Amino acid sequence: AKGLVIRAFNSGILGYAPPLCCTDDDIDGILERTRMTLDQTLEDNDVRAAMKG
């Protein structure tokens, strides 16, 4: 719901699909939305339990 297309790789790397031409402000916005999304995801108890297992 944050307008991002991200792929998680097994190595812990996130792959993004932004436009090929991005400004510094665009990249800052992408990283901020990523942080918010990851924080929100980690608030889910089921996600946190799966990460421990």
Q: Is residue 33 part of a domain?
A: yes
Q: Is residue 1 part of a domain?
A: no
Q: Are 37 and 4 in contact (CB under 8 A)?
A: yes
Q: Is residue 47 part of a domain?
A: yes
Q: Residue 23 — φ and ψ, nearest 5°?
A: -85, 170
Q: Which domain holds residue 12?
A: 6-52
Q: Output the pTM of the full model.
A: 0.70
Q: Is residue 45 part of a domain?
A: yes
Structural domain count of the chain: 1
H or E element in which residue 9 lies? none
Q: How many other CB atoms are there within 10 angstroms of residue 16's CB atom? A: 13
pLDDT per residue of the chain (53 residues) written in tens, 0 to 9: 578 888 889 998 988 887 678 899 998 999 999 999 999 999 999 998 998 87
